[in-house]
Structure 1
Amino acid sequence: MKINDFSIPRRMSKSAFVIYFVKALRNYASIILILFTVRIFDSSEETSIMEYIIMLLSYLAGFLVISLITAFLSFYFKKYYVENGNLIFIHGVIQHERTSVPLHKIQSLRTKSGLIYRILDMKGISFDTLASRTEEIELILDDDDWDALLSRVETQENTQEEVHKTEATEQEATANCKSIKLEVSNLNLIKGALCQNHFKGMAVLFGVLATLYNQITSVNDKAAKYFLDYVETHADTSAFSITAVLTVIVILYIVILILWMGKVFLQYFNMDIRMNEKQLFFESGLITRNSNRFSFDKVCTLYVKRNIIENWLGCCTIMVRQALNATDEKKDTDVKIYGSSHDGNFLNWWLGKDYNSSPTVISARSGYGLLGYIIRFDILISLPAAIALCYYGQYIWIFAPIAYMLVSLSKGLLALRRSHITLKEDYMEISNGKFAEIYNYIKYDNIEVVRMVSTPFTPYNHRVKLVISTNGTSFAIRSLKEQEAKEIYELLLLNSYNN
């Protein structure tokens, strides 16, 4: 038997066990630390330093034993092999499951190579197909096994393609193999990250705080009570001036900006993008190198965004949105490219080189109902806040709800200006966005659901909502003229049927 022919069920190499062990240590570390901290502060009896050390050692011993058991179960009861053109996984501790994935049906190959992976010369690989509704199984392979398995996948894909290809010329086959490499420098990455909505970092900050709070309160309710009592006690002795509040806001903004920049830089450092007629390869990451190799057919939408700063700097944000399977729904698997000007390359790759010359069939714009929809909740927040401030005589703060409503109104007017749908002969373009121009490009054969929704006001204003869904994205275009929406609805159904 050849070393890398994968014909007999095999476990992963012993280095994979080490990676599973490190993963288990990381998963259990925070729980053990919290349990030990709570045990120290909850102790009702006097405890010597030696007893604390013994207690710490016992926690560490239990931590290591649990991690070893978890790693062993993850490693030992997982096998894989290739049979009759299918990649077969055998997994499960109590109930053995067998998952078979045809090699030529694999739509995505994702790899993960973190610090421990790279030290051990290993890669974590995940496979999926468009039809996959189960969570992916990660294989941890060394470089030789990965190269051999990738070669098997590519060979199977080429063989399957040759079976179905009957009239392809040698010149066309050569063209299909040509690969284009797109450059995105780290300087452009930083520039692109600075062009984004920096308050996205707020999600990172609040996520960290919420996780910490939930872990503490889940172990000990006294810790949360102590924290709340402390805040209540010191709140009365604190005087918050406008200057102090503004200072806190500026500091918080800087912290959020740093968090956001760090997240983008860690995830997209040294970006490598390569595309050919059939596939897209994307790899990035500073500490952990993640790659995504997926087929042309798995793309369901191309997203291109330009805000004011991006327009000024001559760049854009591109997102290649994929058809979702069970794992995609849990993870953020869309390919994002910040600070690039490669939107033309991606559109040429996906829609064809003549996409710009595709004639317009019909176009429709949103009406003022969209403005009311966007600012509805902001009015419900600002109006009671303004009334409460006036009631308590805090007139100096009245500028806050007024400024908030002005921003909301600007947001609604910009969204109204940019919201429209255009049906071209070969594809569809949906434009939306508030402070940025966003264009979503969709092929007709990717459309799965089209709905036209009436509102209680439709009999009076003759405006409706159009909902268009693919296997991975969904768009709602509001306040369209009823007649235009009907025409678009019928054309989409006709195009989807023909494709």
Structure 2
Amino acid sequence: MNKPKRLHPVAAVLRFLRSLKELAFPLVIFFFVGGRGEDKVFDLIYVVGAFILVFGMLIFGIITWLRFTYVVDEGELRIEQGVFVRNKRFIPLEKIQTIDVTSGVIQRLFGLVKIQVETAGGGTEAEVVLSAITKDEAETLKGLLKNEWKIEEVESEYSRDFKLSHKELLVMATTSGGVGVVFAGIFAFVSQFDGLLPLDALYNYAEKLISSSITLVGLFILLVVAVSWGVSIVSTALKYGKFTLSQRGKDLFLSRGLLEKRELTIPLKRIQAVRIQENMIRQWLGYSTIYVEVAGGGNEEKGEFSTILVPIIKTNIVHDFMKQFTPEFVLEEKVVPVPVRARKKYIIKPVLPALLITIILIYFLGAWGLLGSFLIILGAIVGYGMYREAGFLVKEKQIKLRYRFINRQTVFAKRNRVQALRYEQSYFQKVESLASIIIWTQSKLMGKHFSVVDVEESKAAELYKWYSYHD
């Protein structure tokens, strides 16, 4: 690969489709809102303009493909691209942190894959994206970028696998937050197109069948929730179907997806922290999600510096799992809870906004506004739950944090992987001899941070010394 190469021609099509996706909403307005006037000449100009716009995006995609080349030479990955301004990028191979391989529907039709290369401090987007190359080229490129990956030479004791069962996949799909997102999307779609859909006629027809309009509204909501739930289950199954986590030597390999297959390589030495997340439903059912904070890598869906290591796993086997796959971050001892005097501060924080909302409701709705008092009760329950979960533990060269708002988070990190640590104290905390601790797993500008508030002031000071003064 010491000669410049172009991507597969399918890359031009993918570029064109991505442009269409980015301009989807303006194009919908362009086609359906404009035009249809009495002047046929104007309508013709309108249609021709739309055609030129779409055709221009296709031509631009082709030119972008022609102007893009890549090569690995003299210990560097070299990229040249740009239609009007030529841009050259040189990335030393030792700076590469992770290599993410995906295969969408179009790529799989042509036997191609997409490679995303992450570097240290690469931000929320991949440093390099090769949208369409053959599988053979991908394997060759991976070997050149990370020539220390020799899976066939790894001893068996360093090879292990973890797979999701159909039951775990179903539990994950039915308890994910995607249900609410889909529900909101369906509601927003219907509200935007209510002028085009015969909703009034449907409502009148349904009202003849159902005497109570309240019942009708309830049935409609249940229907939308059921559809949202079904869509969420299907999308989760497509996204995480055939999930496999493998360890080969000093690297972890993730593979998942039915329609779009994704393969991700995570060097163990790049893991900055391990985070266990439990939402309220999964915590009740005894399930968790395991994230890893990876230097130079992130979650492409959310733009975060977190990568899902295992989407769902029984909580009672999490420590056994970590002993096998991330043994450096195992710390089984329980955290030291925040002091009892911090309880009122935890409860007051969510109660105050709930109280403000209740006062506003009473002002505008009178006696009916008293129903807002349930928000105050809910805020007190949430605050008490936050207090019960909060705490941290330091043992030798490891730290463990636990906190919650809606989801319970447990973070494991090693001292030499923590990029920054700070403890801070407000006036009210100083009166109570309390403080807050914050750790960053990457730089303060780009990295992920975790915090526990209202810990014992003396413990926070000891933690600061533990981090600042060590061998």
Query: TM-score of the superposition, structure 1-length normalised?
Result: 0.77
Amino acid at match of 1:385: L
Would you say 1:385 and 2:344 are equivalent positions? no
Picking from 6, 17, 20, the partner of 1:11 is 6
**Residue of structure 1 equivalent to 2:409:** 438
Would you say 1:66 and 2:59 are equivalent positions? no
Would you say 1:137 and 2:128 are equivalent positions? yes
Amino acid at match of 1:35: F
How many angstroms apart in 2 are the aligned matches of 1:459 and 1:22? Answer: 57
Picking from 394, 397, 417, the partner of 2:388 is 417
How many angstroms apart in 2 are the aligned matches of 1:286 and 1:63? Answer: 34
How many angstroms apart in 2 are the aligned matches of 1:284 and 1:244? Answer: 41
Q: Which secondary structure state, in structure 2, belongs to the residue aligned with residue 335 of structure 1?
A: strand
Conserved 8 A contact 1:303-1:438: yes
Conserved 8 A contact 1:321-1:334: yes
**Residue of structure 1 equivalent to 2:106:** 116
- Cα displacement (A) at 1:8: 0.9
Distance 1:135 1:108, change over 3 A: closer
Which aligned pairs between 1:3-402 and structure 2 lie closer than 5 A?
6-40=1-35, 43=37, 45=38, 58=48, 61-133=51-123, 136-139=127-130, 140-155=132-147, 174-175=154-155, 178-196=158-176, 198=177, 200-206=178-184, 250-306=222-278, 309-310=281-282, 313-324=285-296, 331-332=303-304, 334-335=307-308, 337-341=310-314, 343-344=318-319, 346-349=321-324, 351-352=326-327, 355-356=330-331, 363-365=336-338, 367-368=342-343, 369-389=345-365, 391=366, 393-394=367-368, 398-399=370-371, 401-402=372-373
**Residue of structure 1 equivalent to 2:427:** 456
Distance 1:421 1:329, change over 3 A: farther
Q: Which secondary structure state, in structure 1, belongs to the residue aligned with residue 122 of structure 2?
A: coil
How many angstroms apart in 2 are the aligned matches of 1:121 and 1:74? Answer: 22
Distance 1:441 1:327, change over 3 A: closer
Amino acid at match of 1:180: R
Q: Which secondary structure state, in structure 2, belongs to the residue aligned with residue 40 of structure 1?
A: coil
How many angstroms apart in 2 are the aligned matches of 1:354 and 1:474? Answer: 17
Amino acid at match of 1:195: T
Distance 1:94 1:156, change over 3 A: farther
Amino acid at match of 1:92: G
Conserved 8 A contact 2:278-2:287: yes
Q: Deviations over 1:383-439 (max 9, x none)?
A: 3224433x2x53xx744x233322222111111100111112242111122565431
Amino acid at match of 1:8: K
Amino acid at match of 2:308: V
How many angstroms apart in 1 are the aligned matches of 2:86 and 2:298? Answer: 20
Amino acid at match of 1:14: P
Conserved 8 A contact 1:12-1:141: yes
Conserved 8 A contact 1:177-1:276: no
Count of residue pairs the alignment pairs up: 446
- Cα displacement (A) at 1:90: 1.2
- Mean Cα deviation higher: 412-421 or 303-312: 303-312
Amino acid at match of 1:478: V
- Cα displacement (A) at 1:135: 5.1
Q: Deviations over 1:353-406 (max 9, x none)?
A: 79357x78x8352622122223332222233224433x2x53xx744x233322
Distance 1:483 1:211, change over 3 A: farther
How many angstroms apart in 2 are the aligned matches of 1:247 and 1:461? Answer: 52
How many angstroms apart in 2 are the aligned matches of 1:242 and 1:211? Answer: 22
Structure 2 unpaired stretches of 5+: none
Identity of aligned residues (%): 19
**Residue of structure 2 equivalent to 1:162:** none
How many angstroms apart in 2 are the aligned matches of 1:290 and 1:354? Answer: 26
- Cα displacement (A) at 1:210: 6.7
- Cα displacement (A) at 1:334: 1.7
Q: Deviations over 1:173-204 (max 9, x none)?
A: 844883211110233112123234x4x53344
How many angstroms apart in 2 are the aligned matches of 1:246 and 1:387? Answer: 29
Aligned-residue Cα RMSD (Å) equals: 3.7
Query: TM-score of the superposition, structure 2-length normalised?
Result: 0.81
Q: Deviations over 1:281-304 (max 9, x none)?
A: 112223211222121133222122
How many angstroms apart in 1 are the aligned matches of 2:457 and 2:394? Answer: 16
Distance 1:64 1:306, change over 3 A: closer
How many angstroms apart in 2 are the aligned matches of 1:35 and 1:315? Answer: 47
Conserved 8 A contact 2:273-2:329: no
- Mean Cα deviation higher: 17-26 or 369-378: 17-26
How many angstroms apart in 1 are the aligned matches of 2:156 and 2:416? Answer: 22
Structure 1 unpaired stretches of 5+: 1-5, 159-172, 217-222
- Mean Cα deviation higher: 408-417 or 342-351: 342-351
- Cα displacement (A) at 1:108: 1.1
How many angstroms apart in 2 are the aligned matches of 1:480 and 1:310? Answer: 27
Conserved 8 A contact 1:421-1:428: yes
**Residue of structure 1 equivalent to 2:436:** 465
- Cα displacement (A) at 1:269: 1.8
**Residue of structure 1 equivalent to 2:456:** 481
